[in-house]
Structure 1
Amino acid sequence: MGPASAFELIEFLLGPLPESRQGRDSVHEVAGAEQAGLRVDDLRTARCRMVFHDIGAVVWVLRTCVWWVPDFDVERYAEPLRRLDAQLRRGEPSVAHSTRHLMVARRPAVAG
């Protein structure tokens, strides 16, 4: 996982969430692994782009990734969904990004 998943879309619905954006940072997680006695052999990061062209795809992903907007309901978020739908119908896709990192860590061999 990574420190941000689709925050552009989430914040469109919920408003700014600056503290949530800091939740998972690979530098802190490497330090945590090392403090736990692990040796970090590799760390890879990626920033993945998601492009939404229709409101049905947006609703589907919000219902699938329930942790993004925990209280998501089409009726509850009808107004911002209508605004987003209008944008998408004008041919302006909604772009969001997810950051991912992969850490390879292991316990050091015990002597003896």
Structure 2
Amino acid sequence: MDRQKWLEWLSKETEVPFEGWDFSYVGRTGRLQEAPLSWNYASLVTRKLPKITTLLDMGTGGGEFLSLLGPLPRQTYATEGYQPNVAVARNRLEPLGITVVEADGEDTLPFPDETFDLIINRHESFDPHELYRIAKSGATFLTQQVGGENDVLLNRLLGAAIPQDYLHWRADYAVRQLEEAGFVIAQSREETVPSRFYDIGAVVYYLRAIPWQIPDFAPEVYADGLWQMHQQIEKDGYIDIPSHRFLIEAVRR
């Protein structure tokens, strides 16, 4: 395949629909595989469910993660700030008895003081003081966050600018914020593990799904870098991109 036909074929990956927070198009086929962390977020959440009566899932996306947990308490709520995902989340979660509220993680949340026994947050922003307000005394905030150095190798390989606004976003920074709001930290862990891409089309699909990483991304704009990555994948069979994650479990005094 010559380069022009290759680029035309690659552009078709940008036309594949992406909804909610569902990467199954490249995940279920194994075209993109994430190395395991030393913790499993779903298991950590599941262990706490029998002990609670109220739950909030912040940044539920399309409700994909929350819908797989259970049994959930009768009073379970979810927030989602990205408007196109709100309808997706409601369609998935409301038949399960879960109320979905349109709200961003850093918004003032529409819940009374001391409402929740457990607040979970997987890759969503948060306001520590707002969390403290809506958490009951003794409640847990359990979050897995995407660190500021996540996927920056993609930017370097493609010659794209590296987002500067979140490079500081690490476990120690988030811990300080939560402690200043009044939380006690039960645990904090941080790791960088590889995400393995087995073809360049999976890279294109992934970047289109996370537009904040390279805001002006399009195959024709970054054709040279994509071609070089494609050649590396053809040679090695894959390319590894470091994923930056951290986990914090905080308890309200």
TM-score by length of 2: 0.39
Question: Hey, what does 2:159 align to over in structure 1?
Answer: 14
> Residue 76 of structure 1: SS of its match in structure 2?
coil
CA-CA distance at 1:17 after TM superposition: 3.6
Deviation of the 1:21 alpha carbon: 6.8
Taking structure 1 as reference, are residues 20 and 87 closer, same or farther at Cα in structure 2, changes over 3 Å only? farther
SS in 1 for 2:205: helix
1:48 to 186, 193, 196: 193
Distance between the aligned counterparts of 2:248 and 2:164, measured in 1? 23
Alpha-carbon offset, residue 106 of structure 1: 2.2
Percent of aligned pairs with the same amino acid:
30
Does 2:246 align with 1:105? Answer: no
Residue 25 of structure 1: which of 167, 170, 184 is its match?
170
Give TM-score scaled by structure 1 length. 0.81
CA displacement, residues 53-91 of structure 1 (integer Å, 9 cap, x when unaligned): 211111111111222111111111111111111221223
- Counterpart amino acid of 2:167? Q
Relative contact order, CA 8 A, sep 6+: which one is greater?
Answer: 1
Which of 222, 238, 241 is equivalent to 1:93? 238
- Give structure 2 stretches of 5+ with no counterpart: 1-144
Distance 1:68 1:15, change over 3 A: closer
Structure 1 residue runs of 5 or longer lacking an equivalent are none
> Cα RMSD over matched residues?
2.1
Aligned-residue offset at 1:24: 0.6
Q: Which residue number in structure 2 is paired with residue 84 of structure 1? A: 229
CA contact (8 A) 1:44 1:102 kept: yes
CA contact (8 A) 1:8 1:95 kept: no
Please give the secondary structure, in 2, of the residue aligned with 1:47.
Answer: strand
Rg (Cα) greater in structure: 2
What does residue 70 of structure 1 align with? 215
How many residues are paired up? 108
* Secondary structure of residue in 2 paired with 1:43: strand
